[in-house]
A and B are shown apart, each in its own frame.
Chain A
């Protein structure tokens, strides 16, 4: 049973020249003439075809501007395709923005009715589900105060709660999980899973590759308005990270800052595998080595070499350092040298990371060299885990008998 079907759908936007740009420098006559003139065209989607079966969870990923939101707008009916055919079977609800339709002066209760009916529920339906919606959002004490007094967290929880109690045949989700704290995101994902178990069809658009891999059986990869991959979640995600994002692990030598002492210089930072060969990508949970080459101009007695690893949004980072337990540095002799950072199990989840490297004096008063984002690291799915980071671990089953089972080392 096919719930959703797009056949050769294309969407063209005409980029409008606004009439009031540079007021005065264009005569009135010119502006009147420009009403009829054709404006620039932009094809947000070209020749897109795919189908979604009943009960399937489809993920759609791609770089910004690839056309993901356009597909969502087409599916939810906010806009219509320029050409091609779209077939939708069943009731469809789209959750593009949490709290859509909320009016700040109305109470939470009133807004539940307002937002619920905007999203397509009948008043009777909302009234029947009202208590459950309030409980799920956890805002019972404040349900009768105007939402302008709500914290952003409460606002988002109430908005999502209303949408979570829609019972559409097809549910469209767009980045809505990006807001809210971790506990809330868990709630969202649980609810989505429940809808999936109920046999509803879900289309999920997101940049959060871990969630996409977790929730979706099949994934589409969009690039510049076209589908360039359509397959299992893991395959397509890997393809995205090598093609869609355009980065691989690489080496750069970056020009140094002038406020540093430059008694030593970092020459390059690279990731290598067990055979000392540079690698293009690492995997979660697998052994990793990062090699830092440097050259010392003036002998140092208390140098510390550090690597800073940031994720793409700079929301999460960690550090690797040669500093001892007590923060002491090491002596570095003149000339070239190599330092290697090693880890048995890489703690990063799949994604893109930037590495910056630095050499400093142990007293942290003076920087010797700083190479900003000298390495871009791509981490592919390895061992499948959830969370913000991977915690290296082993396990064994402890039985009352003498037999012991354990995981393979590493």
Chain B
């Protein structure tokens, strides 16, 4: 039984593999299609257009004073990063059966490379966000720098959930099947298409326990409103992520040893 520290050291030894595989994920997408790299931009963009049409034009959803398109996109961007990380990582071990059963390397590298690829997509798609901010004449304040710790917390949480999902997926393939539905429900439980303010006060206590609430709301706030992040919910998100990540990692390493046997 290797200790947590040894496991982290081993992971560091394989950083070259992590780098190579992450680059590989991006390259492969590029090679396989014409639209390949632009999919990173198309996904949040097209969702934003659809939601704007439905929720703003038709349902007249409030949007905290900002134009709805901008409102939606600034939330869809980090949400897409999260959702893509999860959906790609969940099947990462199962889809690479031959590697897992033939060669040894720290298995967590597989889901991590997908999270890394999703992060790159996120950065690429944020160019559009910058463009939209310019278009709508929304100035950026110094508060926007809070984006960095917010995204850091988001990354921690995404990694933690991805690790748990992909290792459970090996034994219970239902996870992979249920995931799209799970993510859809989760999105509705997060202030992506609606602002936090429409959530009734009596539900708010429970509502903010969802780490994505603090993350998305803060991300949007510091960029669109130039205000400091929503400390209460972001604090909850930070604490949950900080606790969950090492837990998920330990769990993963425990179950990792049986993966090759049951995959």
Quick check: A101 and B31 within 8 Å, CB to CB? Answer: no
Interface flag for B105 (CB, 8 Å)? yes
Give the complex CA separation of A101 and B103 in angstroms. Answer: 9
Given contacts A77-B104, A94-B104, contact A123 B261 (CB under 8 A): no
Quick check: A80 and B257 within 8 Å, CB to CB? Answer: yes
Please pick, from B20, B28, B32, B257, the residue contacting A79 in the complex, using a CB distance under 8 A. Answer: B257
Please pick, from B28, B98, B104, the residue contacting A76 in the complex, using a CB distance under 8 A. Answer: B104
Min Cβ gap B170→A in Å is 11
Q: Which residues of B contact A94 (CB under 8 A)?
A: 102-104
Interface string of B138-158 (1 = CB under 8 A from A): 000000000000000000000
Min Cβ gap B239→A in Å is 32
- Which of A106-114, A244-252, A376-384 lines the interface with chain B? A106-114
Give the complex CA separation of A100 and B96 in angstroms. Answer: 11
Given contacts A13-B261, A123-B16, contact A103 B103 (CB under 8 A): no
Please pick, from A79, A100, A117, A146, the residue contacting B16 in the complex, using a CB distance under 8 A. Answer: A117
Q: Which residues of B contact A118 (CB under 8 A)?
A: 17, 99, 103, 105
Interface string of B92-135 (1 = CB under 8 A from A): 00000011111111000000000000000000000000000000
Report the nearest B residue to A97, measured CB to CB. B102
Q: Which residues of A contact B32 (CB under 8 A)?
A: 105
Interface flag for B260 (CB, 8 Å)? yes
Given contacts A79-B260, A117-B17, contact A105 B103 (CB under 8 A): no
Quick check: B102 and A79 within 8 Å, CB to CB? Answer: no
Interface flag for A96 (CB, 8 Å)? yes
Q: Which residues of A contact B257 (CB under 8 A)?
A: 79-80
> Interface size on B (CB < 8 Å)?
24
Given contacts A106-B28, A117-B17, A122-B16, contact A79 B261 (CB under 8 A): yes
Quick check: A114 and B20 within 8 Å, CB to CB? Answer: yes
Given contacts A97-B98, A114-B24, A123-B19, contact A16 B103 (CB under 8 A): no
Min Cβ gap A34→B in Å is 12
Interface flag for B21 (CB, 8 Å)? yes
Report the nearest A residue to B106, measured CB to CB. A77
Given contacts A117-B17, A119-B103, contact A103 B260 (CB under 8 A): no
Give the complex CA separation of A62 and B99 in angstroms. Answer: 25
Give the complex CA separation of A123 and B101 in angstroms. Answer: 23
Quick check: B98 and A100 within 8 Å, CB to CB? Answer: yes
Quick check: B20 and A76 within 8 Å, CB to CB? Answer: no
Give the complex CA separation of A118 and B17 in angstroms. Answer: 6
Quick check: B21 and A114 within 8 Å, CB to CB? Answer: yes
Interface flag for A73 (CB, 8 Å)? yes
Q: Which residues of B contact A101 (CB under 8 A)?
A: 99, 103
Quick check: A76 and B16 within 8 Å, CB to CB? Answer: no
Quick check: A76 and B27 within 8 Å, CB to CB? Answer: no
Interface flag for A78 (CB, 8 Å)? yes
Quick check: A78 and B101 within 8 Å, CB to CB? Answer: yes
Q: Which residues of A contact B19 (CB under 8 A)?
A: 123
Interface flag for A84 (CB, 8 Å)? no
Q: Which residues of B contact A76 (CB under 8 A)?
A: 103-104
Report the nearest A residue to B31, measured CB to CB. A105
Quick check: A106 and B98 within 8 Å, CB to CB? Answer: no
Min Cβ gap A229→B in Å is 28
Q: Which residues of B contact A103 (CB under 8 A)?
A: 24, 28
Report the nearest A residue to B100, measured CB to CB. A78
Chain A's interface size range is: 20 to 34
Quick check: B27 and A110 within 8 Å, CB to CB? Answer: yes
Quick check: B20 and A100 within 8 Å, CB to CB? Answer: no
Q: Which residues of B contact A100 (CB under 8 A)?
A: 98-99, 102-103
Q: Which residues of B contact A97 (CB under 8 A)?
A: 98, 102
Quick check: A106 and B261 within 8 Å, CB to CB? Answer: no
Quick check: A16 and B262 within 8 Å, CB to CB? Answer: yes
Interface flag for A120 (CB, 8 Å)? yes
Give the complex CA separation of A105 and B262 in angstroms. Answer: 29
Give the complex CA separation of A105 and B26 in angstroms. Answer: 12
Give the complex CA separation of A16 and B17 in angstroms. Answer: 32
Interface residues of B in 243-263 (CB under 8 A from A): 257-258, 260-262
Please pick, from A13, A120, A123, the residue contacting B105 in the complex, using a CB distance under 8 A. Answer: A120
Give the complex CA separation of A162 and B19 in angstroms. Answer: 19
Report the nearest B residue to A113, measured CB to CB. B20
Min Cβ gap A347→B in Å is 38
Give the complex CA separation of A117 and B19 in angstroms. Answer: 9
Give the complex CA separation of A83 and B27 in angstroms. Answer: 43
Report the nearest A residue to B30, measured CB to CB. A105
Find the residue from A78, A96, A105 having the highest chain B CB count within 10 A: A78
Interface string of B165-191 (1 = CB under 8 A from A): 000000000000000000000000000
Min Cβ gap B106→A in Å is 10
Give the complex CA separation of A78 and B258 in angstroms. Answer: 9
Min Cβ gap A41→B in Å is 12
Give the complex CA separation of A78 and B105 in angstroms. Answer: 8
Give the complex CA separation of A16 and B172 in angstroms. Answer: 12
Give the complex CA separation of A88 and B21 in angstroms. Answer: 27
Min Cβ gap A17→B in Å is 12
Min Cβ gap A296→B in Å is 58
Interface residues of A in 158-213 (CB under 8 A from B): none
Enumerate 17 A-B pairs (CB-CB under 8 Å) in ascending A order: A16-B262, A78-B101, A78-B102, A78-B104, A79-B258, A80-B257, A94-B103, A97-B102, A103-B24, A105-B32, A106-B31, A110-B24, A113-B20, A114-B24, A117-B21, A118-B103, A122-B16
Residues of chain B having any CB pair with chain A under 8 Å:
14, 16-17, 19-21, 24, 27-28, 31-32, 98-105, 257-258, 260-262
Residues of chain A having any CB pair with chain B under 8 Å:
13-14, 16, 73, 76-80, 94, 96-97, 100-101, 103, 105-106, 110, 113-114, 117-123, 146
The 5 A-B pairs at the shortest CB distance, nearest first, are namely: A77-B104, A117-B17, A80-B257, A117-B20, A79-B260
Give me 8 other A-B pairs in contact (C-beta within 8 A), A78-B103, A103-B28, A105-B32 excluded: A76-B103, A79-B261, A96-B102, A101-B99, A105-B28, A114-B20, A122-B16, A123-B16
